[in-house]
Amino acid sequence: MAESEKDEDGGRLRTFTGSADLALSVVCFLIAVGHIYVAFDPVLSELQRNGFHFAGFAALAAILYPMWRGSSGKPAPIMLDLVIGIAVAASAVWLTFAENAIYDRGVKLAPLDWIAVTICILGAIELTRRVAGVIIPILIILSLTYVAFWGKYIGGVFSFPGLSIETVAFRSIYGDDAMFGTIARISSTYVFLFIIFGAFLLRSGAGEFVINMARAVAGKLVGGPGIVAVIASGLTGTISGSAVANTASTGVITIPLMKRAGFKPKFAGGVEAAASTGGQLMPPIMGAGAFVMASFTQIPYETIVAVAALPALLYFLSVAFFVRIEARRNNLAPMPDEGQTLGSAFKEGGASFVLPICTLITLLVIGFTPTYAAVFGIIAVIGSSWLTKNPMGPTAVFEAFVMGTKGMVLTAVLLCSVGLIVNVIATAGVGNTFSLMIASWAGGNILIALVLIALASLILGMGLPVTAAYIVLATLSAPALSGMISDQFVITQLAAGALPDAAKAVLMFGVPEQAELLSRELTYSEAAGLIQSLPLEIAAPLRDLVVPPAVATSALLSAHMIIFWLSQDSNVTPPVALAAFTAAAIAKAPAMATGVASWKLAKGLYIVPVLFAYTPFLSGDWPAMIQIFLFAVFGVYALSAGLQGCMERRFGIVMRVLCLAAGLACLWPAAFVINLCGVAAVMALLLWNIRFGASAQEASAH
């Protein structure tokens, strides 16, 4: 039989057997090997590589994701989808070779060019609908028609005079931010090679090692099964970079473990979803986010993943604290000893995980590009697998390439297609306008801006996958947020009377009505009020004069990291909560209740971005970063205890308030003495709770 009508994806994917499956696997293998070859020997131009990348994955998407399924679950005819896939792929390839001829004609499209552009764009819309739902196709259609037709009918700041259809068509394909532009370049290089690297790790048995190691480390602790889920999901995130895939792969093991240990099904599912969401934040892969962020900010990838490590660890600790506190609230016993030790875990499969990851990190540190590091990491996986019980021979290598290619289909189609939206945002200047609106609505208050961005990310996340939500939101709001973070340095300098003379002149010229205020010493609040009220044409040059390049870079990275972290909330926040709903299915728990539990457990998604905004947590100043991290560990623990009403023993409302206050004191930015007092308060409350607190049984008796 060539085609199977049922699959493990609940009917979305078309699966194959026999010779059809072998032919598809060979195509996937050739696509993967072709990308690796081009990474080492750039025989194609960047445009051609990106076009071929989209062509290959568009064809696979058309074949694997049928246009429709009937009421009986039977997919659309395979020949129809095959013709569509070939047509879209051929059009993409044609356009990569037509660019010079189009320029020679004065940027005029020939009839064949028009046909290819039309098929390519319509194909991107349709294939994106198949792999990711209707929201992105709707946004693409609205974006393209906005710059071509209806933008001129909108009044106010979003009015756009309009471009000819030919200009829109040309820019949609060949623009720097278009289908075959910057985001497609990221997809065709870094992202795909790291997806293949992750597939090799999984095929080598590294996922099994992660579970075994987590059991050996945390299995015998109070709340051990939940902590196993946290550790396993964090390390599996290094492999997969996908919250839903992470939940599905580790959840089938960890959720039953947690339920057996006494955790409620909805809490067990929430733990797995919250921990798996952290996998997207975990260096060195971080989903596709780190690569997109490096391209947007021009900050080296290795710098981003280095400074992202402590925040990711803090997030996982925040989930682990909730798990332990919940175990204490319910007097759950540790897991029985199953004989698994670190030594036995490493002996069985540690080499296939540890050696490749160390190779990857070493290569990045000494200056290799992420592309080269990923390829050598793949080679390291193959070599190190021979030190384990699961050596990778030719068949396993072939299967890993096929697995990686199939796992990339959704991401590749999505990233190339979302370029159509980003290109319009850049062309029409919507991003700058939206940034100005955020700055205006927030009134210069970063906390209000964070709330606005969090709401926007949640709304976008209801229809867009995480990476797409980050790309769109970063394009729209990162400039405003970065400027507001930089302004904190300007405010500090103004309050300290340390502004350069040129900056004082800009202020005197820009706000002459504030001359009296500028003639004396200002308090911090007065300085903040003045700077936050400045119009952009004064604030921007003032930042350029006052803010050092290193601080400006840190502000830019902080803005993007805030948006990236907040874009994860759709994984765990109802009404969508894709990772939580996946976990609920495994836990056999109510979907919405599991979503609420995961949202509560994932509070680090909102706490850590505040630290990014108000502290040098991403500055690269490691002593300062470690200090912030240590204070934050106490703060997050206290907040978790306050929300759950328990430390080592349950407590009442007064202790809850004290814990919340102590936690906030630990996290308060730029206040070393307050932070120390907060830590002392947390320690005192913990000791009091151990000595005088009521046990769970006593609390329930009352």
**Is the distance from CB of 240 to CB of 284 less than 8 angstroms?**
no
Nearest-angstrom CA–CA distance, 579 and 525: 42
Over residues 486-511, the mean pLDDT reads: 85
Helix %, strand %, coil % for the chain, to 5?
Answer: 75, 0, 20
**Is the distance from CB of 555 to CB of 544 less than 8 angstroms?**
no
Residue 79's pLDDT is: 93
Residue 570's pLDDT is: 78
**In the structure encoding, which two tokens stand for residue 363, read together?**
């290569």
pLDDT at 438 over 70: yes
Residue 265 — very low, low, confident or very high, per pLDDT cuts 50/70/90? very high
Residue 700's pLDDT is: 47
Tokens 């400027």 label which residue? 483
Nearest-angstrom CA–CA distance, 417 and 411: 10
Tokens 């309009």 label which residue? 162
How many residues does this entry show for the chain?
Answer: 702
Residue 10's pLDDT is: 43
**In the structure encoding, which two tokens stand for residue 687, read together?**
């000791």
Q: What is residue 651's DSSP assignment? A: -
Say what the alpha-carbon torsion angle 607, 610, 611, 616 is, to the nearest 10 degrees.
160
Over residues 158-178, the mean pLDDT reads: 90
Residue 702's pLDDT is: 46
- Does this model's pTM top 0.95? My answer is no
CB atoms within 10 A of CB 158: 14
**In the structure encoding, which two tokens stand for residue 85, read together?**
């896939």
Measure the N-to-C terminal CA separation of the chain; round to a whole number of Å.
65
**Is the distance from CB of 187 to CB of 34 less than 8 angstroms?**
no
Over residues 297-325, the mean pLDDT reads: 92
Q: Residue 411: phi, psi to the nearest 5?
A: -65, -45
* Residue 307, helix vs strand vs coil: helix
pLDDT at 698 over 70: no
Highest mean pLDDT among 62-71, 314-323, 421-430: 314-323
> What confidence tens digit (pLDDT) does each residue in 106-161 have?
889 999 999 999 999 999 999 999 988 888 899 899 999 999 999 888 877 788 88
What residues does 650 pair with on adjacent strands?
646, 694
Over residues 521-531, the mean pLDDT reads: 84
Burial of 161 (0-12, 13-18, 19+ CB in 10 A): exposed
Over residues 523-543, the mean pLDDT reads: 85
Q: What is residue 221's DSSP assignment? A: S
Say what the alpha-carbon torsion angle 588, 593, 595, 599 is, to the nearest 10 degrees.
-130
Residue 239's pLDDT is: 65
Nearest-angstrom CA–CA distance, 596 and 599: 5
Nearest-angstrom CA–CA distance, 601 and 278: 11
* Angle formed by the axes of helices 289-297 and 549-566, nearest 10°: 150
Nearest-angstrom CA–CA distance, 701 and 669: 41
Q: Which is more confidently placed, 618 or 257?
A: 618
**Is the distance from CB of 371 to CB of 191 less than 8 angstroms?**
no
C-alpha distances in Å from residue 47, one per residue of 97, 167, 183, 189, 363: 9, 18, 12, 12, 27
pLDDT at 695 over 70: no
Least confident of 390-394, 465-469, 486-490: 465-469
**In the structure encoding, which two tokens stand for residue 609, read together?**
């971005």
Report the percent of the chain where pLDDT is more than 70: 94
Over residues 75-98, the mean pLDDT reads: 94
Nearest-angstrom CA–CA distance, 399 and 129: 28
* Residue 4, helix vs strand vs coil: strand
Q: What is residue 650's DSSP assignment? A: B
Residue 7's pLDDT is: 40
Least confident of 349-363, 405-419, 667-681: 349-363
* Nearest Cα to Cα of residue 232 among 271, 200, 195: 271
Residue 403's pLDDT is: 92
Nearest-angstrom CA–CA distance, 523 and 503: 18
pLDDT at 696 over 60: no
Q: Which is more confidently placed, 697 or 558?
A: 558
CB atoms within 10 A of CB 339: 8
Over residues 223-229, the mean pLDDT reads: 80
